[in-house]
Amino acid sequence: MNRINELIKSGQTIFHTTDLAVLWHISNRNTLYTATQRAVKQGVLARIYKGLYTTGSLFQLDPFLLGQKAWHDFTYLSTETVLVQAGIIFQSMPYITFVAATTKKLLILGQEYRFRQMAPQFLHNRMGIDQKDGLFVASPERAVADLLYYNPSAFLDNRSLPDWDKIRSIQQQVGFL
């Protein structure tokens, strides 16, 4: 029962096994495995995939937060996903895009995630990145700067919407130029 209280007090809904080990103060892998399996059998945790669990319903998870938590390292929502939400790109994207330390594609609960590699000195520069409800999200201007980092001739459907002075400022401050 104490472990359930620890999950609730954490305020999080998605956990890696390493998060559970820290939260439950378990250093032995076998003990952690047993505790995790018991929590799943009791219905306290649901397995998303190996090593990733939730306290909520699998189908009510925030897909953006799920993508960030699945990465388990610093990453932020950016490029096409942010630009579609901001009305700068009109096409809908079948995947959610993040910027991360390495390139990878994941398929989790039917949702495709794409992580694009960015050099560490640019990735860890938080200029134009906000944290909202535990999720790191690029501003539309940072997302445009990121997209231009990957593809300098990228096409934007609504070129009048982003603030190009902010974009150039972000590009200079992050070091893209």
The structure tokens 């080990």 sit at 21
pLDDT tens track for 1-31: 577 778 878 878 899 999 999 999 999 999 9
Residues 162 and 86 grouped into a single domain: yes
Residues 111 and 70 grouped into a single domain: yes
Residues 6+ apart with CB under 8 A from 95: 105, 111, 112, 113, 114
Neighbours of 24 (CB within 10 A): 17
Residues 76 and 131 grouped into a single domain: yes
Domain count, the chain: 2
Residues 14 and 89 grouped into a single domain: no
Domain of residue 37, residue span = 2-60
State residue 99's pLDDT score.
97
User: Of 11, 34, 60, which one is at a domain's C-terminal end?
Assistant: 60
State residue 79's pLDDT score.
94
User: Contact at 8 Å (CB) between 72 and 106?
Assistant: no
Residues 71 and 49 grouped into a single domain: no
Distance CA 128, CA 139 (A): 5
User: Of 17, 40, 60, which one is at a domain's C-terminal end?
Assistant: 60
Residues 123 and 162 grouped into a single domain: yes
State residue 111's pLDDT score.
94
Residues 38 and 51 grouped into a single domain: yes
CATH code of the domain containing 39? 1.10.10
Residues 54 and 79 grouped into a single domain: no
Q: Is the pLDDT of residue 153 over 60?
A: yes
pLDDT tens track for 43-102: 889 999 889 999 988 888 999 999 999 998 899 999 999 999 999 999 989 999 999 999
The structure tokens 């501003």 sit at 139
State residue 5's pLDDT score.
79
DSSP secondary structure letter of residue 40: H
Q: Is the pLDDT of residue 163 over 80?
A: yes
User: Of 16, 36, 60, which one is at a domain's C-terminal end?
Assistant: 60
- Tokens describing residue 136: 């790191």
Residues 113 and 89 grouped into a single domain: yes
